Structure 1
Amino acid sequence: MTKELIINASGDTVEIALLEDKKLVELHYEQGKDDFAVGDLYLGKIKKLMPGLNAAFVDVGYEKDAFLHYTDLSPYFQSLVKFAKQSVDGNTSWGPDFSKFRVEPLIQKAGKITEVVHQKPEILVQILKEPISAKGPRLSCEISLPGRFLVLTPFGDSVSVSRKIHSAEERKRLQKIVEAVKPRNYGMIVRTAAEGKGTEELHADVEELVKTWQNLQYTLKGAKAPQKVLGEQTKTTSILRDLLNESFQRVVANDKKIADSAREYIARIAPEKADIVSYHSGNNNIFEQYGVAKQVKAAFGQTVNMGSGAYLIIQHTEALHVIDVNSGTRSADAGQEQNALATNLEAVAEIARQMRLRDLGGIVIVDFIDMKLPENKRQVLEAMETAMKPDRARHTILPISKFGLMQITRQRLRPELNINTSEECPTCKGTGKIGPTILLSDNIEKDLSYLVDQGHRELTLRVHPIVEAYLTKGWFWSSLRHKWSKQYKTRLKVLADNSYPMTQYRFFDEKTDDSINL
């Protein structure tokens, strides 16, 4: 699998597209002032305790107070409060050497927030979930600073290894290395990316993370709540930090500053990959150049078409997301059960991509085409588990129920991404909406390919005059009509019809002049 990062900067907005094997799988937006992003650290002040919820509301500067539940306080909550107060006052007895910090006793796992939080102190918190809809941010006091191979968790001394590293020998090796190189009072989580890495690389990551924690201490001196004290890296560098590996082939940006920053970051963490970064200086839109714009148009509508003619309907409610799998009008002669299995397996890959692309969170219900055989249902479940492995969000997948429904829960960290793919209709002068016309020629070609496979060799295509001009524009030999005729070895005539709306088209048999139903 090859990965590419395409970065489109326009004004204060940066759009970041992640492609896997040329297919769009993630789309991120970054504003010039992107506050309250996941991972940001704030000095906040507790405003109100809610004993009934066993939680507190914290002022971090957002228009609505943020939510902090007792289960997110961290066992080292008392140590964190002490660290924040002494750092703000500049009265740090441990100085720059955090290993001399005296850790306070742990709080109980199943305690009450009123027993732990007194006098509404100023506390150091980390954004766990960005503000969504009418809700403020969700907070955590379990502070973690991610590096490329490790995650630093202050106040503890334990070293844990990602469960995605399956080899017991490798897990033991990594744990021994990190335990040997990390200072006291720093817990470490070994990330999946550390698999196979040596002592030198892991030690460098430890030093970088320790330096970040020390800088945080200096930033806190004299700070007044609410105040942001440490921002997560830009989305570009955070994506590179989490995903950069041998399969990354290209990083392209249309902003020289962003390109230079990405090149400098990659040169620091993986010098051998620094030359994959390039600057797009052409006049062409970078998303158009690399096929991102077309994929965005195709992927964000309510209906998502797949290659075989099957399609998905994706709908959202306040409580959950519903995805309906439809076989369309075309099917092979393999029998209902095999057709259903083939369509469902095709849908699995697209559903996994759509969940990453739109960042669907919470409960997702998938209504697959009914299958009778248990082994086929199990095959679809296994395919879904495989397709969602690259997804960085935590998720749980349940087997297909007797009603043909699959339930998926997926972690949501940022607001769901919705893009309006409709455009004003030139036929009705903006009084109605139509689907994205950028895909019309693709749909026509798909239907043409299908008809040729069915044995049709002489066809007439009737379309709106503007579409007819588009398909026949230029010299005959360079037009889309000629290209299709040559590619599919068929005789194709394109006729304009003023009675057709912009997006309507129909194929006719040239010999009989009969309309062909698709």
Structure 2
Amino acid sequence: MNKELIIHSTPTGVEIALLEDKKLVELHSEKNDARFAVGDLYLGKVKKLIPGLNAAFVDVGYEKDAFLHYTDLSPYARSLLKFTQLAINDKTPGGLDFATFSVEPEIVKTGKINEVLNGKPNILVQILKEPIAAKGPRLSCEISLPGRFVVLTPFNDIVAVSRKIHSSEERKRLQRIVESIKPKNFGVIVRTAAEGKNTAELHEDLSELAAMWASIQNNLRGAVPPTKILSEQTKTASILRDLLNEDFNKIVTNDKNIYTESKNYIQKVAPEKAEIVQFHQNGSPVFDAFGVTKQIKGSFGKTVNLQSGAYIIIEHTEALHVIDVNSGYKSVGNNQEINALETNLEAAEEIARQLRLRDIGGIIVVDFIDMKLPEHKKKLLEAMDGFMQTDRAKHAVLPISKFGLMQITRQRMKPEMNIQTQEVCPTCNGTGKISSTLLLEDEMEKNIAYLATHNHKALTIVTHPILHAYLTKGWFWNNKAAKWKKKYGPKITVTPDTGYHLTEFKFFDANGDEIKL
């Protein structure tokens, strides 16, 4: 699979398109003044405890208080609270030595929020989900600092290796390496990208994350909530960190600074791929040059057409998303069951892409075309699971129910990507109604009668081609322009112009000057 990252910089922010085999699969946007992005660290103040929800509302500077549930507190919540207070009040010249920090006992999984956050303390929190609709950010106290090969988690000594590394020997090798080099009081999650990496590469990644934690300690010193302590990397850098692999063959941007940053980052982590970074400067918009704009216009909207003639309809409600699969005029044979299976498989691939592209989260119900055979239903389920494998968001796909519906849940991390693909009709201004032809005809005739009394001997009426045909059709006794000439005197010429709206018309005098009425 070939991957391309197209980065379009604008005065207000950055738009990022991820293409897989030339097909748009992810679209991200980042504003220059973006706040409360997933991964950002804030010093917050607990404002209200809600025992009924077993949760707390925390002020992190957003217009609505952020939500922190007990299950997101982390087993090491007491250690985090203790560390937060020590770091804020720290006045030692060299700063707090985290290696000597005494970790507190873990909290119980079935505990109560007021047992941990009693007294409404200040607390270091990480944005788990961006603000969505009327909801504030969702928070977590399970602090994690992601690197390219490892993720650093403070207050524990656990080393875990990604399950996507299937070789047991490689998993043991990575565990041994990380256990020998990790700092004290830190846990480490070894990412899939670490497979095959040596000790030096892993140690460098760990050292950078340890330095990041040191900067968090420094930023906490004397801090007053609510305040941002550490920002997640830019969207471009985080995508490169999480997705960059041997499949990438092109990174293109129209911004010199992003080009330099991306080039430096890839030279650092994968020098052999440094040449894939390109600077776009031929004058045309970078999204247009790589076909992204066209794909955006064709991929968003209520109806999405498939190559075979089938199509899917995507509807959004407050509680869930509903996707309906329709066969259209597609037919691959006389067997209705085979037609349904082939259409459903094609639709499943597009649905998996749409979920990533629009970043649809929550509950998704898909109404596939009915199939009778259990083996076909199983094949569709396996295919959907396979198409969803490239999706980084946590998700679950359930078998087709007896009603022929497939249920999918997908982690919602940020507001859904929604691009308006419709415009207000310039003729009716969105009302769905235009003036009747008879009313237009009467208005034109009144204007001609008025102009005839002001010594206009020749008039030209410029109209839309359809209106032109209506006014000039037939012989003399049906030709509206000829009747007006006979009735009012001026010579009348009707000229078509495709640039005019359907009900638009203008008058011009014998010199070609427009007559304002």
User: TM-score range, shorter-chain basis?
Assistant: 0.7 to 0.9
The aligned residue for residue 301 of structure 1 is 301
Counting only pairs closer than 5 Å after superposition, residues 96-175 of structure 1 correspond to structure 2 as 97-175=97-175
Contact 2:87 2:96 in 1 (8 A): no
The aligned residue for residue 492 of structure 2 is none
Distance 1:83 1:267 in 2: 36
Change (3 A) 1:92 1:369: farther
The aligned residue for residue 11 of structure 1 is 11
SS of the residue corresponding to residue 61 of structure 1 reads coil
SS of the residue corresponding to residue 125 of structure 2 reads strand
The aligned residue for residue 382 of structure 1 is 382
Contact 1:267 1:274 in 2 (8 A): yes
Taking structure 2 as the reference length, what is the TM-score of the superposition? 0.82
Q: 1:19-54, CA deviations, whole angstroms, 9 ceiling, x for partnerless residues?
A: 000100000010011110000000000011111111
**Unpaired runs of 5+ in structure 1?**
434-463, 467-495, 503-518
The aligned residue for residue 350 of structure 1 is 350
Change (3 A) 1:119 1:204: same
Counting only pairs closer than 5 Å after superposition, residues 47-126 of structure 1 correspond to structure 2 as 47-91=47-91, 95=95, 97-126=97-126
Distance 1:113 1:426 in 2: 56
Distance 1:107 1:90 in 2: 25
Change (3 A) 1:334 1:99: farther
Counting only pairs closer than 5 Å after superposition, residues 471-510 of structure 1 correspond to structure 2 as none
The aligned residue for residue 26 of structure 2 is 26
Shift of 1:429: 6.0
Contact 1:399 1:406 in 2 (8 A): yes
Shift of 1:59: 0.3
SS of the residue corresponding to residue 135 of structure 2 reads coil
Contact 2:56 2:67 in 1 (8 A): yes
Distance 2:193 2:304 in 1: 33
Change (3 A) 1:295 1:376: same
Distance 1:163 1:107 in 2: 27
The aligned residue for residue 485 of structure 1 is none
SS of the residue corresponding to residue 288 of structure 1 reads helix
The aligned residue for residue 312 of structure 1 is 312
Alignment pair present for 1:401 and 2:401:
yes
Change (3 A) 1:282 1:465: farther
Shift of 1:368: 0.5
Shift of 1:97: 3.7
Contact 1:159 1:178 in 2 (8 A): yes
Q: 1:403-450, CA deviations, whole angstroms, 9 ceiling, x for partnerless residues?
A: 1110000001000111100124355466559xxxxxxxxxxxxxxxxx
Distance 1:67 1:465 in 2: 59
Contact 2:36 2:137 in 1 (8 A): yes
Distance 1:46 1:27 in 2: 35
SS of the residue corresponding to residue 42 of structure 2 reads strand
Change (3 A) 1:94 1:364: farther
Distance 2:399 2:92 in 1: 54
Shift of 1:334: 3.8
Counting only pairs closer than 5 Å after superposition, residues 412-423 of structure 1 correspond to structure 2 as 412-423=412-423
Q: What is the identity, as a one-letter code, of the residue corresponding to 1:19?
A: L
Q: Which stretch has the larger CA shift, 136-145 or 114-123?
A: 114-123
Taking structure 1 as the reference length, what is the TM-score of the superposition? 0.82
SS of the residue corresponding to residue 351 of structure 2 reads helix
| RMSD of equivalent CA atoms | 2.1
Give the aligned length.
441
Change (3 A) 1:256 1:431: farther
Distance 1:77 1:407 in 2: 35
Alignment pair present for 1:203 and 2:199:
no
SS of the residue corresponding to residue 107 of structure 2 reads coil
The aligned residue for residue 193 of structure 1 is 193
Contact 1:94 1:100 in 2 (8 A): no
Q: What is the identity, as a one-letter code, of the residue corresponding to 1:28?
A: H
Contact 1:94 1:101 in 2 (8 A): no
Distance 2:285 2:55 in 1: 48
Contact 1:144 1:154 in 2 (8 A): yes
Q: 1:96-143, CA deviations, whole angstroms, 9 ceiling, x for partnerless residues?
A: 542111111111111111111122111000000000000000000000
Once the two structures are aligned, what percentage of the paired residues are identical? 67
Shift of 1:346: 0.5
Distance 1:196 1:259 in 2: 28
Shift of 1:78: 1.1
Distance 1:18 1:288 in 2: 14
Q: 1:270-289, CA deviations, whole angstroms, 9 ceiling, x for partnerless residues?
A: 22222211111121011110
Contact 1:86 1:92 in 2 (8 A): no
The aligned residue for residue 246 of structure 2 is 246
Contact 2:95 2:218 in 1 (8 A): no
Considering only CA atoms, is the larger Rg found in Structure 1 or Structure 2?
Answer: 2
**Unpaired runs of 5+ in structure 2?**
434-463, 467-495, 503-517
The aligned residue for residue 475 of structure 1 is none
Q: 1:274-318, CA deviations, whole angstroms, 9 ceiling, x for partnerless residues?
A: 221111112101111000000000011100000000000000000
Distance 1:161 1:313 in 2: 40
Distance 2:423 2:361 in 1: 27
SS of the residue corresponding to residue 423 of structure 1 reads coil
Contact 2:309 2:329 in 1 (8 A): yes
Change (3 A) 1:317 1:430: closer
Alignment pair present for 1:326 and 2:326:
yes
Q: What is the identity, as a one-letter code, of the residue corresponding to 1:142?
A: E
